[in-house]
Amino acid sequence: MRPFEYASARSRQQAVSLLGTSWDQAEVLAGGSDLLALMKDDVVRPRRLVSIKEIPDLREVRAAEGGLSIGALLTLAELSDHPQVRQKYPALRQAIDDAASPQIRNVATLGGNLCQRPRCWYFRGGHGLLARGPAGASLVLNGDNRYHAILGNQGPAYFVSPSTIAPVLIAYGARVRLYGPRGERQMPLEKFFRVPQSDGEREHDLQPNEIVTEIVLPAAEGTRGGNYEVRQKEAFDWPYATASAVLRMSGATVESARIVLGHVAPVPWVSGEAAQAITGKPVNEQTAAAAGQAAVAGARPLSRNKHKVQLARVAVARALLAAARGTARA
């Protein structure tokens, strides 16, 4: 690991003042489960780490606008155990409990999970976010792309968004709040993720001198949520595909739906097609399967990941069935 400075901030303002205007100057240290691995592998090379662990208000969970405001420093384990999450957002709890391993969930923070970098092995091997070879051609297209994108993969990015928590938060309608030199700004969480077009860009709408401070969840009364994850083995593994569904029902009929796929595109993939396919209908095996088909109708599998199309289709169907039953697990 390369030498670096270490600074511990006691407030949001101090943290921002210690960060730089470029990513090589400084990085934010929260749980560190992803950042330290990237530094050890020499993928990122910050000259300073700015710890935000001692900023107390980033650990708070409070009522806000009928829902919850969740501090970015809350660990995944703490969030899963929170009584309001257990009671009102069961699909979120399911997604958290499926993420990583118990050891990592006790360290990894909510903000860190949303800001983690892609698990693409070309990126982790030092070939850059867009994984281009010496001649500028993508290494992914003619290489091992089993885990890469099947949606939103027109290029130049083929990695998949790695967060298993983001899709369910987006399905619930979450917003993210950021703090920087100009104060606070917020946006719908789906707008936080973006597809980089050049090697100098990142995959989040976050400046080098900004920090994620909290996630705001709207009221969940009247909704039913479901989450489903497909991985190669039940033990800790990166998913092939995930799907989250949050429904508002009128009797047995879907009044409105939010369906978001994970690990299939460079961003969490909001499927308006799947939502449209299920709206106005009851949720059963046939309608859920039709919504799954609609979700992947525009998929463009690469040379070695055609299997992900079927897995994503099944994940959507099972997330919908879980939501309709009022449970988080299919």
Angle between helices 285-295 and 307-325 (to 10 degrees): 140
What gap in Å lies between CA 158 and CA 63, rounded to an integer? 38
Model pTM score:
0.97
pLDDT over 70 at 115, yes or no: yes
Domain count for the chain: 2
State the Rg of the chain over Cα: 19
Of the three residues 34, 53, 72, the one that is the final residue of a domain is 53
Mean pLDDT of 263-286: 98
Beta bridge partners of 204: 193
What gap in Å lies between CA 278 and CA 255, rounded to an integer? 9
pLDDT over 70 at 272, yes or no: yes
Q: Summarize pLDDT for 291-308 with one digit per residue, the tens.
A: 999 999 999 999 999 999
The domain of 45 spans: 5-53
Q: Summarize pLDDT for 141-152 with one digit per residue, the tens.
A: 999 999 999 999
pLDDT confidence band for 327 (50 / 70 / 90)? low
pLDDT over 90 at 1, yes or no: no
Residue 42 within a domain: yes
- Nearest Cα neighbor of 291 from 317, 265, 272 is 317
Residue 330 within a domain: no
Residue 165 within a domain: no
Neighbours of 187 (CB within 10 A): 12
* 105 neighbors 75 (Cβ within 8 angstroms): yes
Give the model's pLDDT for residue 195. Answer: 97
Give the model's pLDDT for residue 234. Answer: 74
Q: Summarize pLDDT for 157-207 with one digit per residue, the tens.
A: 999 999 999 999 999 999 999 999 999 999 999 999 999 999 889 999 999
pLDDT over 70 at 329, yes or no: no
Of the three residues 14, 38, 53, the one that is the final residue of a domain is 53
What's at 183, amino acid-wise?
Answer: G
Give the model's pLDDT for residue 110. Answer: 97
CATH number at residue 30: 3.30.43.10
Residue 204 in tokens: 């989040």
Residue 258 within a domain: yes
Residue 272 within a domain: yes
CATH number at residue 236: 3.30.390.50
Give the model's pLDDT for residue 141. Answer: 96
Mean pLDDT of 71-99: 95
What gap in Å lies between CA 35 and CA 159, rounded to an integer? 18
Residue 76 within a domain: no
Half-sphere exposure of 101 (CA within 13 A, CB side): 7
Residue 310 within a domain: yes
Give the model's pLDDT for residue 328. Answer: 47
Residue 145 within a domain: no
Phi and psi at residue 36, in whole multiples of 5°?
-65, -35
Stated length of the chain: 330
